[in-house]
Structure 1
Amino acid sequence: MRAAILVLFILGIAAGAQSARAGLSDTPREISAPADAAALADEGTQQSEDQIRLSRTKRRDVQRGLARIGFNTKPTGKFDDQTRDAISRWQEQHGYPKTGFLNAAQHQALMNESADAAQDGKSDHTDRRHGRTRRGGGGIGGPIGAIGHVVGGIFGR
């Protein structure tokens, strides 16, 4: 069995060597813009924010979203100075005009970023014995992890 693993290992190295000889690709890649150009041109104003018709609940969602991605806000449902400042800093960080008011495109981008952060947070879990947060399952995953698992089982890890 060990000989079979050794042969497979050597074949894997030989197959990888062919790819390595091919070298780097010189094909140009498309790079997308960080923000929609139309959204950048249309800065957020009190009027654009009024057009979104944010209810008190949706305003709280915006405030929770800002807090989730690292901007200090309290979910009161009212956009006070602290919230306007957080929106301004978020806009600046993303290349939008720094107004403190959202337009529809910015609101959607903020909520998407917040939802992504919430999804990332669900994959974190705390090791309560040591007070540390670990990402994912705590081990090597994918094909490398599978090989380690098989080899560890064969050689009695």
Structure 2
Amino acid sequence: MRALILALSILTIVASAPGANAGLSSSPRDSGAPAETAVATADADQQTENQIGLTKAKRRAVQRGLTRLGFGTKINGTFDDQTRAAIARWQEERGYPATGFLNAAQHKVLMAAATEAAKSDRQARRHAGGRARSSRNAGGPIGAIGGAMHRVVGGIFGR
């Protein structure tokens, strides 16, 4: 019986090998072209950013979006030098003038790209077998069995 279980386990591992080679994508995500290119590429400054009416919560959402897209910054709701630099890097990568400030069209494009990235991240986690992590940090089903055996043996020998 053990040999059969071992053989099935090995076959499962071999069958899932092509999926393991997929790994993380190194190609940039398609953020989509801005709907209004002329407006999106227009210079942004403090005045255009003020017109968006970003509350502290919306500023945190922008910071989360930047981080999700790979432009890491603190998520504190304050557009400090680090956040301005992340916005400028994002703008430069997208072909916008790298001012470090957003206009309404850029804000819309940034938030749409961040939402799309979040969806693909959730789908990737779902397809990666996210249910195995719900075994109370025991390391999956095998770890749960080993943890149960450890508690039984420890209980018998007074550990």
TM over 0.5: yes
Structure 2 equivalent of residue 71 of structure 1: 71
Report the CA distance between 1:127 and its aligned residue. Answer: 5.2
Report the CA distance between 1:34 and its aligned residue. Answer: 3.4
Report the CA distance between 1:42 and its aligned residue. Answer: 1.8
Query: Quick one: percent identity of the two aligned structures?
Result: 50
Q: 1:68 to 1:91 in 2, by over 3 A?
A: same
State whether structure 2 residue 33 is matched by structure 1 residue 34: yes
State whether structure 2 residue 93 is matched by structure 1 residue 93: yes
Q: Which runs of 4+ in 1 moved over 2 A?
A: 33-37, 125-128
The CA distance in 1 between the partners of 2:65 and 2:51, in whole Å, is 20
SS of 2:87's partner is helix
Report the CA distance between 1:101 and its aligned residue. Answer: 0.1
- TM-score scaled to structure 2, two decimals? 0.57
Report the CA distance between 1:40 and its aligned residue. Answer: 4.4
8 Å CA contact 2:39, 2:105 repeated in 1: yes
The CA distance in 2 between the partners of 1:82 and 1:99, in whole Å, is 13
8 Å CA contact 1:40, 1:95 repeated in 2: no
- 1:15-62 CA-to-partner distances (Å, cap 9, x unmatched) read xxxxxxxxxxxxxxxxxx934331245211000000001000000000
- TM-score scaled to structure 1, two decimals? 0.58
Which is richer in helix? 2
Which consecutive residues of structure 1, in runs of 5 or more, have no partner in the other structure? Answer: 1-32, 132-157
- 1:116-157 CA-to-partner distances (Å, cap 9, x unmatched) read 0000011112458x99xxxxxxxxxxxxxxxxxxxxxxxxxx
Which is richer in strand? 1
What RMSD over aligned residues (CA atoms) do the two structures have, in Å? 2.2
Count of aligned residue pairs for this structure pair: 99
The CA distance in 2 between the partners of 1:45 and 1:39, in whole Å, is 13
The CA distance in 1 between the partners of 2:41 and 2:98, in whole Å, is 12
| 1:41-56 superposed matches below 5 A | 41-56=41-56
- 1:87-120 CA-to-partner distances (Å, cap 9, x unmatched) read 0000000010110000000000000000000000
